Amino acid sequence: MIKRDIIEKLVSWKNNKKRKPLILTGVRQCGKTSSILEFGNLFFKDVAYINFEETPEAGDIFEYNFDTDRILDALGSLILNKKITVGSTLLVFDEIQVCPKAITSLKYFCEKKRDLHLIAAGSLLGVALRSNEVSFPVGKVDRLRMFPLSFREFVVADGGEKYITGLEKYDKSAELPGLFTTPLEDYLKKYYIVGGMPEVVQDWIDNHDFDSVEKIQNNIIRDYSDDLVKHAPKDELQNLRAILDCMPEQLAKENNKFIFSRVKQGARAKELETSVQWLIDAGLVHKLDKVEKPEIPLSSTADAEYFKLYFSDIGLMRCKAGIYYKTILEESDLYQKFKGAMAENYVLCELIKQELPAWFWRSGNTAELDLISEYHGEIIPIEVKAADNTMAKSYRQFAKKYSPPVGFKFSLKNIGKNMVENTETYSLPLYLVYRICEYM
């Protein structure tokens, strides 16, 4: 499963005359390696691929010095048995976090071999970059972050591109006919179940079998657990597993603030905050900090000690929570409480994929708004409802107090627009989160 948008961004990087070595990050199994290799096969005469985890001896080449000519010659003659030609070869350093000096070498490739097309990737690169062992080449690399497939990408991959392109012909403020609402709501349910991990999506496209999907998702979750054993600090391992295991339960709570004592009895922030950060750096979870008094930039007023944790993929969240796929398809009444958490997790992931930063707003114990974002110097309030109820007292309080120019209510209700206090408010279906920037 190759992501078109990543290929397009890689092509843009290739054609940039001021191009630097590229670091591609992203959670494990989101398709980084397959996308890079597909890009290389399409646009280069040759691909020189080195995986430092599978070929640890390649790391020895970087121990001597950072002479780029020597490194290229040694990699070509000793590891790959072929010549690496600047201009026509794509050089790939995969699982580069295994070799910290290879990360450092990117600085020298930037300075001495700017014409070389070099991409570095790694599933736990985010963790490695925080390590004191790595001398990161600040200002000497381009960076690109990769995510699981978005809802839009999932629909297109599953044969529903006609709905995505068809929407573009309608007035964005007009209600949509059932010709769109019915199939897109159906796709949203499927996306909640399948999620966006490429291997899972490909299996769904090939077989359309939810049981098969769940087997692969369980395998990915087990792979993540194996990664913890292999790469995480030994003294953090128990905490990391406990955090992941308790996340569904914490998200199901009405006030789904992350509470450390629910991870293990008597636990305090100091005991677990390092583990939380490790999971964030690994791309496994997204952290949503509280903002009580919003000011631009929102990051300056965020309370990093009062937060919520969400999964980086909605399908893995469902699988980890043990929600049977028929429960979602049939909209069981027993699923209503967790349905809200699913919707919030979904919307957050969609915002992050569009590079929209996110926080949540809480005013003492009187009001809480699911999400707030920042766009072109404006604060954007966002309310999320799992069904078609758009009554939102906290949204109105926020609009009255801070008068943002535009805001959003996402639910299963059709498109609408009205004024809430002095805020122009769009009511949009959940399946249109990917278009949010068009309304701002």
Region 403-408: what's the mean pLDDT?
95
Once rounded to an integer, what is the mean pLDDT over residues 235-259? 84
Q: Which of 127, 146, 165 is the last residue of a domain?
A: 146
Q: Which residue has the higher pLDDT, 286 or 387?
A: 286
The CA radius of gyration of the chain, in Å to the nearest whole number, is 23
Closest CA to 29 of 3, 56, 52: 3
Could you give the CA distance from residue 31 to residue 48 in angstroms, rounded to a whole number? 18
- In whole angstroms, give the CA distance from residue 17 to residue 342: 43
Q: How far apart are CA 371 and CA 373, in angstroms?
A: 7
Tokens (6 digits) for 391: 């009554």
Task: Look at residues 114, 130, 146 and tell me which one is the last residue of a structural domain.
Answer: 146
Please tell me whether residues 138 and 243 are part of one structural domain: no
Same domain? 170 vs 127: no
Both 130 and 169 in a single domain? no
Measure the CA–CA gap between 223 and 4, rounded to whole angstroms. Answer: 26
Do 32 and 104 belong to one domain? Answer: yes
How many residues in the chain? 440
| Strand residues in 122-239 grouped as ranges (E) | 142-146
Q: Which range marks the domain in which residue 102 is found?
A: 4-146
CATH number, domain at 53?
A: 3.40.50.300
Predicted TM-score of the model (pTM): 0.91
Cβ 236 vs Cβ 276: under 8 Å: no
pLDDT value at 133 more than 70: no
Question: For the sheet containing 367-375, what is the strand order?
Answer: 302-311, 285-291, 358-363, 367-375, 378-384, 406-411, 423-429, 416-420
Neighbours of 248 (CB within 10 A): 18
**Which backbone phi and psi does 417 adopt, to 5 degrees?**
-145, 135
- Tokens 């919003």 belong to 294
Tell me: do 223 and 345 sit in the same domain. Answer: yes
Please choose, from the candidates 284, 316, 74, the residue with its C-alpha nearest in 3D space to the C-alpha of residue 201.
Answer: 316
Residue with tokens 């397009």: 8
The reply to whether 260 and 370 lie within a common domain is yes
Query: Is 90 exceeded by the pLDDT of residue 56?
Result: yes
User: In sequence order, which residues have a C-beta less than 8 Å from that of residue 273 and are 6 or more positions away?
Assistant: none
> Among 18, 182, 37, which residue's Cα sits nearest to residue 114?
18
**Contact assessment for residue 126 and residue 282, using Cβ atoms and an 8 Å cutoff:** yes
**426 SS3 class:** strand
175 in the same domain as 105: no
Between CA 305 and CA 223 the distance in angstroms is 29
Cis peptide before 297 (omega within 30 of 0): yes
Task: State residue 40's pLDDT score.
Answer: 95
Q: Provide the pLDDT for residue 367.
A: 84
Mean pLDDT of 35-51: 95
Residue 263 has pLDDT above 90, yes or no: no
Same domain flag for 390 and 282 = yes
Q: Which DSSP helix (H) or strand (E) runs through 397?
A: helix 393-402
Residues 293 and 343 in one domain: yes
Domain count, the chain: 2
Same domain, 403 and 307: yes
Q: Does 36 have pLDDT greater than 90?
A: yes
Task: Give the Cβ contact number of residue 223 at 10 Å.
Answer: 13
Residue 426 dihedral angles phi and psi, to the nearest 5°: -95, 130
pLDDT at residue 408 is higher than 90: yes
Per-residue pLDDT tens for 67-101?
999 999 999 999 999 999 999 999 999 999 889 99
On whether the CB atoms of residues 342 and 313 are closer than 8 A, the answer is: no
The DSSP code sequence of 325-370 is: HHHHHTT-GGGHHHHHHHHHHHHHHHHHHTT--EEEEEETTTEEEE
Q: Among 89, 119, 146, which residue terminates a domain?
A: 146
* Rounded mean pLDDT, 201-218: 96
Does 70 share its domain with 163?
Answer: no
Same structural domain for residues 257 and 138? no
Between 10-19, 242-251, 308-317, 373-382, the lowest mean confidence (pLDDT) is in 242-251
The answer to whether the beta carbons of residues 48 and 76 sit under 8 Å apart is yes
